[in-house]
Amino acid sequence: MNNSTVQQPRENENDRGALMLTAKKIFWAAIAILFCLLILSVILLSSRLYEYAKTDERVVQLKSNMDDVLHIFSVQYTNASGEITVSGADGQKVIAPGTSAEYTVRLRNTDKIALDYTLAPGILFTSEHKIPLLVRLIGCDGNYLLGDAKTWVPVEQLNTLTDVNTLGRGESVEYVFQWKWPFESGDDQTDTNLGILAGTGDVGLTVTFTLHAEANTSIEDNGGFFGSGRFENVALLIFILALIAAIVILLISVFRRRDQDQKDPDSNDEESDDTATEA
Amino acid sequence: MKKNKMMRVASALLVAVLLTTCAISGTFAKYVSTASNSDTARVAKWAFNVGDSNIAQSNTFVFDPFSYSDSNVDVDGTGSEKVIAPGTTGEFALVLTNNSEVTAQFSINFTEIRNASDNGNVIPMQYSLTGADGTWVSTIDGIDVAATTLAMNGGTTTVTIHWKWAFEGPDHIDTDLGQDYDGVPNVTISAEVTVEQVG
C-alpha cells in the first residue's frame, strides 16, 4: 500500500477552497463584464453609425456669419458729422481716401465634439494697381494678429496670416477685422491717380476669409475623460475596462492552473482524472 | 476542456469589444468642413468737369469769355478776333460738375493780363459775379470763387462772370486805347479751377 499521501491541515484546505471559490466568482464576473461591455460598445457604435449615415456630407457643424454676404465694404460712407461723403454709383461698393470700416467674423461650434479650425484671410487686387489700404485684425483672444492698438499694416499682410485654434463644444469666438484708407496718406497723387483710373477701368480689391475645420477627437479638448457628449471618451473607457477584465480573467486562469498543478502535478487536465496511472 | 473553452470565449469577447471601440473612433475621423467668403469693392471714381472737359484727366479746359454781340461795334465778339470797346459788356459761364463718387470742393482763381497802350493805359475792365445790378470790381481777382462744395455723382453749379467796359468813364483813356492801332492794348483772362475731395 502507498502511504505517500501527505495529510494537509484541514484549515489550509478550507482556505484554499474559499480562495478558489472567490477566484471562480471573479472569473465569471469578469466574463459577464466583458460581455456587457461588448453590448454597450455595439450600442454606441450603432448610434454613431446611425448619425454618420444620416448626413450626406461628413461636415462638422461650425456656424459662422461668413455663410451670409460679407459686409466688409459699403456703398456709402459718412463723415463724423453724419454726412454722406462717398457713394458708389449704381449701388456698387466702393472705397476712397477717408473711408474705413470694421467687420466681425463670428464662429460658433454647434457640433457635439471639439473642432480644430484654421482661419485664413486673404487679399486680391482686381488690377495691377495696388490700393493703399491699412488693416488690423484682432484675434479671438482679444490680441492683435495684425498691427496693434497704435499701428496699422498694409492690406497685403492679410495674405501672410493664418490663425489656428480649437473650439470646444458649444463655444463661440469673434475676430474683428478693421480697415481704412487714410485721408491724409501723404501721397495725394497716388490716391488721385487711382480715382482717375477708376473712371475708366476696374480698380479694386477683394478680401476673403477662408475657414477650414476638422473634428477634434482628443480627450483634453473635449472636457476631459468624462467630458459630456463625447462618445470616444466612453469608448476609451470601455476599451480600458475590457482590457482590465481580460487581464483579470488571465490572472485567475493562471492562478487556478497553478493551484491545480500543485494539487495534482501529474494531471494535465483538471477534468481528466481518469487517466492517472498506478505506480 | 471546459476552461480552455471559456478562455476562448473570453478572448473572443475581448477582441469584439476592442474592435467595436476602435470603430467608434473611426466614425469621427473624416469630419471636415471648408468655407470661404469674400467681399469686393472698387475705388471710387474721381472725375470733375468744367464744361465738357474732365479736368481730373486733362488738367485743362477751354472757355471763351469774350463771345458777345453788340450791334454798335463793328467788330465785336462774334468773330475770331474779339474786339471790345467802351460800352460793351458780356458774360461767360463755367459749368462745374462733380462726376466723382465722393463729395468734392472746388475753387476758382481768375487772373488777367492787361497789355497797356504806348501811353501806359490799360483797358478799364470791370467784373461782377451777379450782373448788371450787382457789385462790380476793377480787377478779376476780386471775383475769385471760394471753396464751394459739390455733391457727388452729378452735383453741378454754374459760375457766371460778367464783364464790361463802362461807357461812362475817363474818356481820355478810352480814346487813347482806341487810337493805339497796333492792337497792343488787350486783356487776357485765365481761370484755374482747383478741386479736392471733402472728407
Chain B residue numbers touching A239 (CB-CB < 8 A):
17-18, 21-22
Contact B13, A38 (CB under 8 A): yes
Chain B residue numbers touching A235 (CB-CB < 8 A):
21, 24-25
Task: At A94, list the grid cell.
Answer: 466702393
Q: Which residue has the higher pLDDT, A214 or B26?
A: A214
- CB of A23 within 8 Å of a chain B CB? The answer is no
Q: Which residue has the higher pLDDT, B47 or A68?
A: B47
Contact A262, A54 (CB under 8 A): no
* pLDDT (0 to 100) of residue A23: 83
Question: In this complex, which of A85, A207, A235 lies closest to B199 when CB atoms are compared?
Answer: A85
Q: How far apart are CA B76 and CA A193, in angstroms?
A: 42
Q: How confident is the model at residue A103 (pLDDT cuts 50, 70, 90)?
A: very high
Instruction: State whether A66 and B37 contact (CB < 8 Å).
Output: yes
Instruction: State whether A93 and B39 contact (CB < 8 Å).
Output: yes
Contact B123, B177 (CB under 8 A): yes
Point out which residues pair with B49 in neighbouring strands.
B54, B97
Task: At A166, list the grid cell.
Answer: 480649437
Q: How confident is the model at residue A232 (pLDDT cuts 50, 70, 90)?
A: low
Q: How confident is the model at residue B154 (pLDDT cuts 50, 70, 90)?
A: very high
* pLDDT (0 to 100) of residue A247: 86
Is the pLDDT assigned to residue A10 strictly greater than 70?
no
CA distance A5 to chain B (A): 27
From the list B106, B101, B1, B124, the residue with the least C-alpha distance to B46 is B101
Secondary structure element (H or E) that encloses residue B194, with its range: strand B186-197
Buried b (16+ CB within 10 A) or exposed e, A122-154: bbeebbebebebbbbbbbbeeeebbbeeeebbe
* pLDDT (0 to 100) of residue A274: 39
Largest alpha-carbon pair distance within chain B? Answer: 148
* pLDDT (0 to 100) of residue A11: 64
Q: Quickly tell me which residue has 457789385 as its cell.
A: B135
pLDDT tens digits along B66-84: 877 777 766 666 667 788 8
Task: At A250, list the grid cell.
Answer: 488571465
* pLDDT (0 to 100) of residue A270: 44
Indicate the DSSP class of residue A158: G
* pLDDT (0 to 100) of residue A269: 45
Question: In this complex, which of B7, B17, B199 lies closest to A242 when CB atoms are compared?
Answer: B17
Work out the average pLDDT over A116-144: 95
Contact B99, A198 (CB under 8 A): no
Chain B residue numbers touching A27 (CB-CB < 8 A):
6
Question: In this complex, which of B17, B29, B197 lies closest to A41 when CB atoms are compared?
Answer: B17
The total of other beta-carbon atoms located within 10 Å of residue A87's CB is: 22
- CB of A167 within 8 Å of a chain B CB? The answer is no
pLDDT tens digits along A78-89: 999 999 999 999
Q: How far apart are CA B77 and CA B65, in angstroms?
A: 9
Q: How far apart are CA A158 and CA A31, in angstroms?
A: 60
Q: How confident is the model at residue A203 (pLDDT cuts 50, 70, 90)?
A: very high
Which range is least confidently modeled, A244-248, B48-52, B112-116, B150-154? A244-248
* pLDDT (0 to 100) of residue B193: 96
- CB of A34 within 8 Å of a chain B CB? The answer is yes
Q: Which residues have CB under 8 Å from A9's CB, separation 6+?
A: none
Which range is least confidently modeled, A234-238, B10-14, B32-36? A234-238
- Residue-range domain boundaries for chain B: 48-197
Q: How far apart are CA A250 and CA A238, in angstroms?
A: 18
Instruction: State whether B41 and A93 contact (CB < 8 Å).
Output: yes
CA distance B92 to chain A (A): 28
Instruction: State whether A214 and B57 contact (CB < 8 Å).
Output: no
Share the mean pLDDT of chain A.
83
* pLDDT (0 to 100) of residue A57: 55
Q: What is the DSSP string of A178-225?
A: EEE--SS-S-HHHHHHHHHHHTTS--EEEEEEEEEEEEE--SGGGTST
Work out the average pLDDT over B4-8: 78
Instruction: State whether B25 and A232 contact (CB < 8 Å).
Output: yes
In angstroms, how far is the first alpha carbon of chain B from the final one?
A: 96
Which residue of chain B is at minimal alpha-carbon distance from A85?
A: B103
Report the predicted TM-score, pTM, of the whole model to 2 decimal places.
0.74
Which range is least confidently modeled, A120-129, A147-156, A190-199, B72-81? B72-81
Contact B187, B112 (CB under 8 A): yes
Is the pLDDT assigned to residue B189 strictly greater than 70?
yes
Q: Which residues have CB under 8 Å from A48's CB, separation 6+?
A: A231, B24, B27, B28
From the list A147, A132, A149, the residue with the least C-alpha distance to A184 is A132
Contact A140, A90 (CB under 8 A): no
Which range scores top for mean pLDDT: A111-120, A202-211, B53-62?
A: A202-211
- CB of B139 within 8 Å of a chain A CB? The answer is no
- CB of A24 within 8 Å of a chain B CB? The answer is no
